[in-house]
Amino acid sequence: MEKNILSLGGLGRSFGTTRAVDSVSLDIGPGEFVGIIGRSGAGKSTLLRLVNRLIEPTDGRIAFGGQDVTALKGSALRDWRRQCAMIFQQFNLIDRLDVLTNVLVGRLAVHGFASSMAMRFSDAERALAIRALDRLDLAPQALQKAGTLSGGQQQRVAIARAQVQNPRILLADEPIASLDPGNATRVMDALRSINNEDGITVLVNLHTLDTARAYCDRIIGMRCGRVIFDGSARDLTATVVREIYGSEDLSDFNESVTSTTIRPGVPA
């Protein structure tokens, strides 16, 4: 097994009679930028949560670099969760704490339990957190309460928090679904630069097709828990799009695409 390949084999998760994820087999290589698309309920969120073991599979296997992730327990499981940082649609920051402290929360994944409780951080960790904020143009906001920031800024803080965890894989569940197009672009650009510069694998669930086309090397289309497309943006033809999103009227979807079209920003 080649090093650092995330490998899903026959992965499945049922909720009662619903097969949220159904026999998903994928290999994702280091440094890939993968977009997962599909209708609401297709199983995108469940798939990401299975990967970082926020939820347990009912069948199948997850491996990373040949190591069985599905069997990890205790500190080995905690370390796996540190290695795959998660970013959510609703940012999940602590509003009443300042931005810097929110970023440092990412370090708790690296600490043992006792020092996590004390929320004590070293100068080196503070410097690391400031650097992460600075890369995302947020150093001036370091001492501001997180709740006072715009949505786009808050999501970038969440990205900085994920970064100080020193992850191998970044899992982002619809990170731009509640942002306006300008902020959405900045957040996607931030994910792309982390992917390019740090070589971190990015797996991102996306609601809009244009974003997937603009940013992702590889697009995975899910429907009813299954992977029904796996290829490049170029291979994503109108026929395939119809298969992924269903044969119903696509006008709502197309409208959201044209009104919120975002494009990669010019690299700084």
Ligand X SMILES: Nc1ncnc2c1ncn2[C@@H]1O[C@H](COP(=O)(O)OP(=O)(O)O)[C@@H](O)[C@H]1O
- Which residues contribute to the site for ligand X (CB under 6 A)? 15, 18, 20, 38, 40-46
117 binds, among Mg ion, ligand X, none (CB under 5 to 8 A by kind): none
Quote the strand ranges of the chain, DSSP E.
Answer: 6-15, 18-28, 33-37, 59-64, 67-68, 84-87, 169-173, 201-205, 218-223, 226-231
- Taking the least distance from each CB to ligand X, the nearer of 198 and 243 is 243
Q: What is the CA radius of gyration of the chain?
A: 18
Could you give the string, one character per residue 71-110, with x where binding to Mg ion holds by CB under 5 A and - elsewhere?
Answer: ----------------------------------------
In 10 A of CB 4, how many CB atoms? 16
- CB 81 to ligand X: min, Å: 19
Using CB under 5 A as the binding rule, whether residue 208 contacts Mg ion is answered as no
* Backbone φ and ψ of 157, nearest 5°: -60, -40
Q: How far is CA 237 from the centre of its chain?
A: 25
- Taking the least distance from each CB to ligand X, the nearer of 20 and 142 is 20
- Taking the least distance from each CB to Mg ion, the nearer of 45 and 183 is 45
153 binds, among ligand X, Mg ion, none (CB under 5 to 8 A by kind): none
- Taking the least distance from each CB to Mg ion, the nearer of 45 and 201 is 45
- CB 42 to ligand X: min, Å: 4
- CB 54 to Mg ion: min, Å: 13
- CB 174 to Mg ion: min, Å: 6
- Taking the least distance from each CB to ligand X, the nearer of 15 and 255 is 15
Closest by CA to 171, choosing from 74, 56, 28, 1, is 28
The phi-psi region of residue 251 (left if phi > 0; otherwise alpha if psi is between -120 and 50; otherwise beta) is alpha
Residue 205: HSE in the Cβ half-sphere, 13 Å Cα cutoff? 23
Closest by CA to 263, choosing from 198, 200, 194, 212, is 212
- CB 233 to ligand X: min, Å: 20
Using CB under 5 A as the binding rule, whether residue 45 contacts Mg ion is answered as yes
Which residues of this chain interact with Mg ion, rule CB under 5 A? 44-45
